[in-house]
A and B are shown apart, each in its own frame.
Chain A
Amino acid sequence: MRHLAWTNLKRHRHSTLIGAVAAGVLIALAYAVGALIDMRPLMHATGSVLEDSRLMPAVMTLAWILLLIFIVAFLIYLNTLLLARRTEELDMYRLLGMPSSRLGGVLIWEALMTGAAALVIGLVGGVLLSKLLAMALVRLMGFQTAVGIQWSPQIAGQLTGLFLLVYLIIGAVNAAFIRTLGHQRGRRAEAQHLPPRLSGWQVVLACAGVILVGWSAIGTGNYFAWVRPVRQLTGLPGWGQLGLLTFCGIAGTYLVFRQSLPAAAFLLARWRVVRRHAKWLLAANTLYRWWRRDHFALWLITLLSTLTIAVLGSAAMLLQLGQREVENSMPLPITTSASNEALVEKKAAGLITRQAQVTTKRMVGKTTLRRQGRDDPTTTLYQVMRLSDYQRIRQWQPNLPALQVAPGQAALVLSDPAFLRRGPAQRLVNAGRQITFPADGRTLLISDLTTAFPLGSAIYFDRGLVVADSDYEEMKGVNDPLAVYWLKETAAGHRVEQQLDDQTQIDYVRYDQAVRKGDKLPTATKDTDDSFSRSGLNVRRPMARAVDTLFGFAVFITLLMGGAVLVATACILLLKQVTHAQGRAPVRRVLWQLGMPTSQLTDVAYVSTFGVYLAPLIFASINAFVIVHFIASATAGQTGGLVLVVWAIYSLIDLAFAWLAAQLTDRYG
């Protein structure tokens, strides 16, 4: 049995090798992640930054378990794929009289031998990869910890036991499968020789697939703008609309691969111009056959790729968002309210290189702004600042926009970018509206709006207002002086910043009915139900480091999972291409015998292989961009440069696999 199993593996050496290497790469990834969880110094270092030493090991363990589940699912799918290609061969063994028990034994041996090879590749690769992965994690999280190659006998033992068991189960399932071979014989023979067909129903379904995908993409892209009108029109709640759009996207993608793409290839192959060029005709026919036969696998790969690109893109976007949030909330080293100045000056004595004071006034204001097509009347707390102070702050905080504020006007600073929507001629929709202050009855005209808070949003209770110096002097509010400090860029300076960050200093102001009416001023108070609060002491560096660590870790986890999915999906396609190419080798030989130039045969291999790889990539990219756009709309993120970079890297890796598959198709076909 062992001898026959070995002979079979050698006969199918290309698919065996690709399967074992793909499984090996994923096992290597699993080992490296497992070894990372065992790296105590790294886990301890993250714990010190994230204030919870259990967070990272817990998340890593969860990611590890998900990765293992994914690998097992991938191996089962891979096995189904490989077995489907061998049914004729196995059927022949049975027809020649080999007992099913013996054939089953051969299949179990084959599975165990493949598993052993995958484990060897995986463990050796994993030990090498562990250093690379640890370095990536350390780099992404911004640590200085030294890391080396990790050998963990415990993880190696666990993975060996797990995957030998998985391969044993796969072998046993295969052994059970061969008992059903006789029943499938007739259906297989019939399916192999069916000529290409396109019925009216198939055309209808093909069109339906494209419409569903398009509608889902457009609907999700405009979800936030359309959700209210659609609810009013149909009574369908927001979550129902989103569920329907998701279902349409998934079902539409399935129909696209089941009907639309094969129909397109079918029609292409019947187009007179294509029929006159054998290269394009054969490529279209090959694509028709492959898309028809592998529609389910391609659909599954598209969904996985969508998820991967969307998660990677969202992680990149959220990383940008996190960094922007730090930049927006704490753009300067230390900002503090008056009550905390003494604390900073005491702790940082001798380390302060520069200090600045900015005076503001706290006032309650009323205004009505337009957002998402509706007028939104709001009464809230404003910190009012002189225009001259704003200009001074712009020297330290260069990202602040230039504001044009004349006497009687005010520039509004708020956090929600939805208020900054522009109408015709790029004019701000909310510019020209009025803001009234009940305490002194003053009314100002809003001349400009921005989301960039001078000194950072963390030192504000809610909104900010920049007014002309003359208006500022006349306004009736509570003085709220703020201070900015710059410390020496030394270890001692950094240590003090960390110490200050550990101090929780919250300022509260009263905001009861009397304050809202303007009868009383928003003075300082204790924490009550009718109070506004802010952080009275804000230190940038520890906050930035925590965000970098947290988002760096999130990016690492998403890259890890994305990488695993990418390798798995690309390998499935690679394997399918190679086995298809081997099946099509006689056709290729006939074409060569008929005088088709070798260069054209190579072109056919490349065009059809890239067609198979590009279809899931294109649809996954469209879906993923829609999802990322949706998340961006929901979180006020921007689908900018970094998302495109992530997508470009993913696409390049996918295309590299396509090139490899085309090479192998050209070679073995």
Chain B
Amino acid sequence: MRIVTVDHLTKIYGHRFNRVGALNDLSFHIDAGEFVGIMGPSGAGKSTLLNIIASIDTPTTGSVWVGGVDLTQLNDAALAKYRREQVGFIFQELNLLSDLTVATNITLPLTFVPPVPSDIDARLAHVADLLDLTGLLARYPTELSLGQRQRVAAARALITQPALILADEPTGSLDSMAATELLSYLTKLNLEEDRTIMMVTHDAFTASFCNRIIFIRDGAYFAEVTRSGSRQAFFDQIIDMEATINGGGKRRETPRVD
């Protein structure tokens, strides 16, 4: 089942005499249950793409369909509902509230609008167990390590049981051990919970945990690689594609979106 469809998406910042194109006629799609990575050089438009899919930003032209709904047609209230219920966003900067405990940070999105789900405590226990946070629930974010905080951010994204999890450079500020740990959890989420994950990264090692990598350059679709064998083989494929992009390789055909 197709969950995300990006259709001829263009995003231009600035106006009249100072226009910068972040996305340029980008089209692709993601199916339910996929773990997709978005890669590309700095300034390729990766984060802009993720922000538009998360409805934090709006496209200049084109459209984004998530779960069969065109985001560009939704009003503010409907977009807030969409962010609250259908998407879980793991921010690069974590964005945890320092004056709330870990438990309250995680359950916060469920308490925005009544009625609060009756199984809120069960959900909290489940995600805490999944991400190994059970012993940390009463602590404050400032009392945790960076890796633990990143897991809290992941738990907060997960507790609403969203159809789509978006992660913007989730390992950007982590050391390799903490990064591997977090990626293992995301893989577990994808495999055991059957969550669709879309992750922006510039790191080949991080990307190797995905099933499919979409490469974009200068805001446009460049290529994609799909994992078919071992993670090592997939990693090598990613490195090759990165070398092609950075070496100025030719752009491939944009896949047909239907």
**A interface residues with partner B (beta carbon < 8 Å):** 193-196, 275-279, 281, 285, 288-289, 586-587, 590, 592-598, 600
Question: Closest 10 interchain pairs by CB?
Answer: A595-B84, A195-B140, A595-B83, A590-B95, A278-B111, A596-B112, A193-B142, A276-B116, A597-B80, A278-B112
Contact A595 B98 (CB under 8 A): no
Contact A600 B142 (CB under 8 A): no
In the complex, the chain B residue whose C-beta lies closest to that of A278 is: B111
Known: A196-B99, A275-B111. 15 other contacts (CB 8 A): A193-B142, A195-B140, A277-B114, A281-B104, A590-B91, A593-B54, A593-B83, A593-B89, A594-B84, A594-B89, A594-B108, A595-B82, A595-B84, A595-B85, A597-B112
Whole-angstrom distance from the CB of A583 to the nearest CB of chain B? 12
Contact B113 A597 (CB under 8 A): yes
Most chain-A Cβ atoms within 10 A of its Cβ — which of B76, B84, B97, B116? B97
A590 with B97: in contact, given A278-B112, A600-B112 (CB under 8 Å)? yes
Question: How far is A275 from B141 in the complex, measured between Cα atoms in Å?
Answer: 17
Q: Which residues of B contact A288 (CB under 8 A)?
A: 99
Q: Which residues of B contact A593 (CB under 8 A)?
A: 54, 56, 83, 89, 91, 95
Question: How far is A413 from B141 in the complex, measured between Cα atoms in Å?
Answer: 75
Contact B111 A595 (CB under 8 A): no
Q: 13 interchain pairs (CB within 8 A)?
A: A195-B99, A195-B143, A196-B140, A277-B114, A285-B97, A285-B100, A288-B99, A593-B54, A593-B91, A595-B82, A595-B84, A597-B113, A598-B76
Q: Which residues of B contact A194 (CB under 8 A)?
A: 142
Contact A594 B113 (CB under 8 A): no
Contact A595 B112 (CB under 8 A): yes
Question: How far is A587 from B114 in the complex, measured between Cα atoms in Å?
Answer: 21
Count of B interface residues, CB-CB < 8 Å = 32
Question: How far is A278 from B99 in the complex, measured between Cα atoms in Å?
Answer: 13
Q: Which residues of B contact A275 (CB under 8 A)?
A: 104, 107, 111
Q: Does B109 count as interface, using CB distance less than 8 angstroms?
A: yes
Q: Give B211-233 as 1s and 0s: 1 = Cβ < 8 Å from A's Cβ atoms.
A: 00000000000000000000000
Contact B104 A595 (CB under 8 A): no
Question: How far is A624 from B156 in the complex, measured between Cα atoms in Å?
Answer: 48
A-facing residues in B82-106 (Cβ within 8 Å): 82-85, 87, 89, 91, 95, 97-100, 104
A195 with B98: in contact, given A593-B56, A595-B82, A598-B76 (CB under 8 Å)? yes
Q: Does B2 count as interface, using CB distance less than 8 angstroms?
A: no
Q: Which residues of B contact A592 (CB under 8 A)?
A: 80
Q: Give B100-141 as 1s and 0s: 1 = Cβ < 8 Å from A's Cβ atoms.
A: 100010011101111010001000000000000000000010
In the complex, the chain A residue whose C-beta lies closest to that of B85 is: A595
Q: Give B46-86 as 1s and 0s: 1 = Cβ < 8 Å from A's Cβ atoms.
A: 00000000101000000000000000000011001111110
Question: How far is A61 from B76 in the complex, measured between Cα atoms in Å?
Answer: 58
Q: Which residues of B contact A590 (CB under 8 A)?
A: 91, 95, 97
Q: Which residues of B contact A193 (CB under 8 A)?
A: 98, 142
Question: How far is A128 from B80 in the complex, measured between Cα atoms in Å?
Answer: 49
Q: Which residues of A contact B111 (CB under 8 A)?
A: 275-278, 281
Q: Which residues of B contact A594 (CB under 8 A)?
A: 83-84, 89, 108-109, 112, 156
Most chain-B Cβ atoms within 10 A of its Cβ — which of A278, A285, A587? A278
Question: How far is A289 from B114 in the complex, measured between Cα atoms in Å?
Answer: 25
Question: How far is A594 from B84 in the complex, measured between Cα atoms in Å?
Answer: 6
Q: Which residues of A contact B108 (CB under 8 A)?
A: 278, 281, 594
Q: Which residues of B contact A279 (CB under 8 A)?
A: 112
Question: How far is A598 from B142 in the complex, measured between Cα atoms in Å?
Answer: 27
Contact B99 A595 (CB under 8 A): no
In the complex, the chain A residue whose C-beta lies closest to that of B87 is: A595
In the complex, the chain A residue whose C-beta lies closest to that of B89 is: A593
Whole-angstrom distance from the CB of B66 to the nearest CB of chain A? 14
Whole-angstrom distance from the CB of B157 to the nearest CB of chain A? 9
A596 with B80: in contact, given A276-B111, A278-B112 (CB under 8 Å)? yes
Whole-angstrom distance from the CB of B115 to the nearest CB of chain A? 10
In the complex, the chain A residue whose C-beta lies closest to that of B108 is: A278
Q: Which residues of A contact B80 (CB under 8 A)?
A: 592, 595-598
Whole-angstrom distance from the CB of A289 to the nearest CB of chain B? 6
Whole-angstrom distance from the CB of B109 to the nearest CB of chain A? 5
Contact A289 B99 (CB under 8 A): yes
Whole-angstrom distance from the CB of B130 to the nearest CB of chain A? 20
Q: Which residues of A contact B109 (CB under 8 A)?
A: 594-596
In the complex, the chain B residue whose C-beta lies closest to that of A593 is: B56
In the complex, the chain A residue whose C-beta lies closest to that of B141 is: A195
Contact B113 A195 (CB under 8 A): no
Q: Which residues of A contact B99 (CB under 8 A)?
A: 195-196, 285, 288-289
Whole-angstrom distance from the CB of B58 to the nearest CB of chain A? 14
Question: How far is A149 from B98 in the complex, measured between Cα atoms in Å?
Answer: 55
In the complex, the chain A residue whose C-beta lies closest to that of B156 is: A594
Question: How far is A227 from B85 in the complex, measured between Cα atoms in Å?
Answer: 65
Q: Which residues of A contact B143 (CB under 8 A)?
A: 195
Most chain-A Cβ atoms within 10 A of its Cβ — which of B77, B91, B112, B143? B112
Question: How far is A648 from B199 in the complex, measured between Cα atoms in Å?
Answer: 58
Most chain-A Cβ atoms within 10 A of its Cβ — which of B54, B82, B83? B83
Whole-angstrom distance from the CB of A423 to the nearest CB of chain B? 56
In the complex, the chain A residue whose C-beta lies closest to that of B114 is: A277
In the complex, the chain A residue whose C-beta lies closest to that of B54 is: A593
Question: How far is A278 from B115 in the complex, measured between Cα atoms in Å?
Answer: 12
Q: Which residues of A contact B76 (CB under 8 A)?
A: 598
Contact B81 A595 (CB under 8 A): yes
Whole-angstrom distance from the CB of A278 to the nearest CB of chain B? 4
Question: How far is A594 from B81 in the complex, measured between Cα atoms in Å?
Answer: 9
Whole-angstrom distance from the CB of A54 to the nearest CB of chain B? 60
